[in-house]
Structure 1
Amino acid sequence: MEPEQSYHIYNHANGTENIFREEENYRFFLQQYAKYLGEKVDTYAFCLMPNHFHLLVCVKSGLDLPGFENLAGLSPTKLGHASKNPVTKAFSDFFNSYSKAFNKRFERRGSLFVEHFKRTPILDERQWQETFLYIHLNPVKHGFVKDHANWKWSSWHAYQNPEKPSNLERTYYNNFFDGWEHVKNMMEMKKEWLMNKELK
């Protein structure tokens, strides 16, 4: 994962289990995410669902960290094995931290997440817009709610309530939309299309 590059990141439970069983799991996931990734990525959108999650992030610029110097030209697949990449390692440490606490809480053993989380580079404005909308629409797509605004564990609420503190970078979306009303209008216009789309 390279500095100043945005990514759509997603992962799901290993097998048929859920990665969130109770509300405290969601809160702890976000707490650990801020702890391990807060200084390494800007987060623009997230959505946490019982068996999977989605993130839209950008690797921060100016990271004075070793490991970026040999990553040029690597494919997203090969980046998954670039153990020196500090951001990839931070994600790995984050997943391990959450998994250990989850296993202890529910007296389970074994891996919780699929081993290699997926990340797709965002390459243009249209892709950024669609990913942002798609992430917030995901609870509807998977049948958890009928209205995306009613899903508690997404970043939609932080954008709807800008006066409340948030770890999100909540101004960057203005590079792709003409304000929040434009976001909501685009969501309604593209809702049916996004419901049938798989962003990978």
Structure 2
Amino acid sequence: MKLEKLEQDCYYHIYNRGINGGPIFRSDENKRYFLRLIKKHLSDKVSILAYCLMDNHYHMAIQVIQEEQKVTQSFSNLFNAYAKAYNKMHNRTGSLFEKHFKRIKIQDTKYLRNLIIYINTNPEYHGVNNDYKKFEYSSYQTTIVDSNDAVLMPIAKEEVINLFEDIENFEYLHQQKMNLNLDLNALDLD
């Protein structure tokens, strides 16, 4: 599979899962550490519009704001640093993630809005949490709160709200779970 280049100013769906569908997060501590690494390695390279960390996979909707080589290397550094720490913490060796992180270039605004909804409602979709609004490791709460106090991961909140016209429409469309036109089978994350 040829990997999509991460072109500057373009939007992407970034995702991956654990090797053989295994866990990549075993605790809240693992998830918080992964989010800290995202801040460290990506904060000046991409804008994050949405994210969700599940036990065996993650999703991000991003916009690339730096040149491709820097962004690709930063993602590599993030995943390598996390895998090394995870392996040490859990006394394991070998690959943690499937071969390469997957990326899909987003070509239109409707798809991007649907993707953000899918990412934010992923805990409910997978039956992990019956109320996606209360799931701690997704960007939904970060988007709807007034301040960024105690936020684990800053997101491009203003840009996200503008994509949905306003916060009320953002919440409404999440509640309706919009007719997602994503090819969920292609994600192969179950």
Q: TM-score range by the shorter chain?
A: 0.7 to 0.9
Task: Kindly tell me the number of residue pairs found equivalent between the two proteins.
Answer: 178
Q: How does 1:47-196 map to 2 (within 5 A)?
A: 47-60=52-65, 63=66, 68=68, 85-165=69-149, 166=151, 167-190=154-177, 193-194=179-180
Question: 23, 32, 49: which one pairs with 2:28?
Answer: 23
Task: Answer with 1 or 2: which has the greater Rg.
Answer: 1
Q: Deviations over 1:62-94 (max 9, x none)?
A: x4x5xx5xxxxxxxxxxxxxxxx2211111111
8 Å CA contact 2:10–2:64 kept in 1: the answer is yes
For structure 2, which runs of at least 5 residues remain unmatched after alignment?
1-5
Q: Deviations over 1:104-155 (max 9, x none)?
A: 0010000000111111111111111100101001111111011111211111
For structure 1, which runs of at least 5 residues remain unmatched after alignment?
69-84
Tell me how large the CA RMSD over aligned residues is.
1.8
TM-score with structure 2 length normalisation?
0.87
Percent identity of equivalent pairs = 35
2: CA distance between counterparts of 1:196 and 1:5?
A: 18
